[in-house]
Structure 1
């Protein structure tokens, strides 16, 4: 391998990483990551999309803060020293690593300081856990670049009286030579040529191009205009409903103990309505061991929901909130009324979960650049 004289997390280091394929990207490239797709990674590395900002993620911050302690702990347990360096493959310089540490014999050590959920999963399931399977690919990549016969994967909570979970990972030559390296080199060629990997419609973002982009802008402008009008009308409606409620309360107060009034074209009826049955609580009482599959057999058809968020709407910025409109549409079912709500904090992008979904879990697993 070729050592590269760079300080990790420096601007120069970020540029160097962006121009190559790194160990932390290997699982994504192979399609093994539930958090990011090959297309999304390609789009971020080619500048088509902006990467998610994880700098304020508490898991990321904790991982960075505790890395030195985790490194010292490994050194003490194994009576060695670890050198955090950046390096490129001698054979394929496009393959790059930022090692948490290399032992005196050149073995890579990948240090993770996971959140409690990830720690519990690794402690319970070991090599079958999601974190281990993702980082196993990363360590194989590191063994390839370092030309090492084995590496180490360490989950260290950096807590007193809690022993780290250490895994010795042997180099798997067939996997590296037949699957890992070819896939990473193909991905590097796609970066250079601008040819995108096949996107996943269920996980990747639609990015309109050419005429589609022009049409998208036209419809987006129409949506913003209509949304602003809806906001104005809703504000006026809210005021009128307030007047309606005040007048109703006054009429009811005038009626005293009477239940019915009909005067001047206004009829007021006071009545008592029975409360609804709490069916989940009822089922828990009469059938606590009910098989979930029985409930699924009686579930109504699912619906497709659409949520539109105006991220940079000037009116929303003034109010310190994004505007959302959610419309439910289902085949064979009438569409439900649009629901509108306000949020004080903007919602993370879909791919930060990438959605997925579970952004906190993503931060828990993928807490750094390594």
Structure 2
């Protein structure tokens, strides 16, 4: 395999991981990653990650908590096992370009050293230009993320943010996402980075890194309150003069009432449909179908845990 010659440029410097053992290289990469923002962080920073919030990432980057070890999760094991094979397969399919492993190095922005890009692969076209190769594996459950409303292949937004971040750091404006989705043949999705997207990513990364360096937490979400305040004071604060809060609570009360009415109506309709099913497994009418099948609930044990529980009620106002 022919190597692509890379060296420091006016845009970035290269950090190379030359440790002999793979585990040592991985530890060196993790240490370097903590010193800045990486491509896989961008979906979280932009609010596109349904599994982690900006506040949770901030806790990790500031050293307040250790990142969760996900190395034993099957999706991660599968992805790591397939990455090199997918890179070799892509190389074999594209003799017109040079394709090399990018995981033994990191690109660090000269202007903003907290911007750090670790690529799965590096491409060089026939015209000598460099490109980005990003390798992904996804289960059938996430296959819908890889298609638009018309069924055409697309890069999911949370991965598009990642590769456009790499373009921001390297200046390489084209690339390919090579994805193994479910058990189907891997697919290629070429991309060209959008300048406006890159500017937005640059600004979001700068804002987030400012939170890290100043020790200021980013805007919390409802899911973050449990972690930020696990042991709240045992008081109920009277904020009766806050009109905005009253409006918020009143709208919640109204929405709860409407939801309860809908649930009651749904339950009544469900009972009527079940009576129509009777001794059958289900009924169909046009394109609508309802079933009432026997099922067995698996026995399981729930571990005891302490958590904060939200409750809401309307109380009688005291006479003044």
| TM-score where L is the length of structure 1 | 0.56
Q: Closer, same or farther in 2 for the Cα pair 1:88/1:195, shift >3 Å?
A: same
Alpha-carbon distance between aligned partners in 2 of 1:325 and 1:149, rounded to the nearest angstrom: 48
State which of 177, 186, 192 in structure 1 corresponds to 2:207. 186
Cα-to-partner distance string for 1:140-173 (whole Å, 9 max, x where unaligned): 01111121121211112596xx432211111211
4+ residue stretches of structure 1 with deviation over 3 A?
A: 123-129, 202-206, 278-292, 324-332
- 1:323 is matched with 304
Secondary structure of the corresponding residue to residue 166 of structure 1? strand
Aligned pairs for 1:73-112 (under 5 A) are 73-79=89-95, 80-84=98-102, 85-104=105-124, 105-112=129-136
- Alignment check: 8 A CA contact 2:140 2:182 kept: no
Unaligned runs of 5+ in 2: 1-11, 235-269, 289-300, 315-320
User: Structure 1: how far apart are the matches of 2:276 and 2:182?
Assistant: 44
Distance 2:94 2:276 in 1: 55
The separation in 2 between residues aligned to 1:119 and 1:28, in whole angstroms, is 20
Candidates 178, 189, 201, aligned match of 1:167: 189
Greater RCO (CA < 8 Å, at least 6 residues apart): 1
Write the distance in 2 (CA, Å) between the matches of 1:47 and 1:207.
15
State the shift of 1:206 in Å. 3.3
**Cα gap change, 1:154 to 1:287, in 2 (>3 Å):** same
Q: How many angstroms apart in 2 are the aligned matches of 1:49 and 1:283?
A: 55
How far residue 95 of structure 1 moved from its aligned partner, in angstroms, is 0.5
DSSP 3-state at the match of 2:227: coil
SS in 1 for 2:107: strand
1:169/1:48 Cα in 2 relative to 1: closer, same or farther (>3 Å)?
same
Task: Give distance in 2, aligned partners of 1:88 and 1:328.
Answer: 44
Shift of 1:321: 7.7
Q: Are 2:60 and 2:66, in contact at CA under 8 Å, matched by a contact in 1?
A: yes
Q: Please say if residues 21 and 94 of structure 1, whose CA atoms lie closer than 8 Å, have aligned partners that are also in contact.
A: yes
Superposed, 1:84-163 pairs within 5 Å as: 84=102, 85-104=105-124, 105-119=129-143, 121-122=145-146, 132-157=156-181, 162-163=184-185
Whether 1:282 aligns to 2:282 is: no
Name 1:4's counterpart in structure 2.
15
After superposition, where does 1:168-247 map in structure 2 within 5 Å? 168-177=190-199, 179-202=200-223, 205-208=226-229
Aligned partner of residue 43 in structure 1, secondary structure: helix
Which consecutive unaligned segments of at least 5 residues does structure 1 have? 217-277, 293-319, 333-370
After superposition, the Cα gap between the structure-2 partners of 1:282 and 1:132, relative to the gap in structure 1 and judged at 3 Å, is same
Report the number of matched residues.
237
1:71 match: 87
Q: 1:283 to 1:40 in 2, by over 3 A?
A: farther
8 Å CA contact retained: 1:119, 1:155: no
8 Å contact from structure 2 (residues 122, 132) kept in 1:
yes
CA RMSD of aligned residues (A): 3.4
Of 22, 34, 54 in structure 2, the residue corresponding to residue 18 of structure 1 is 34
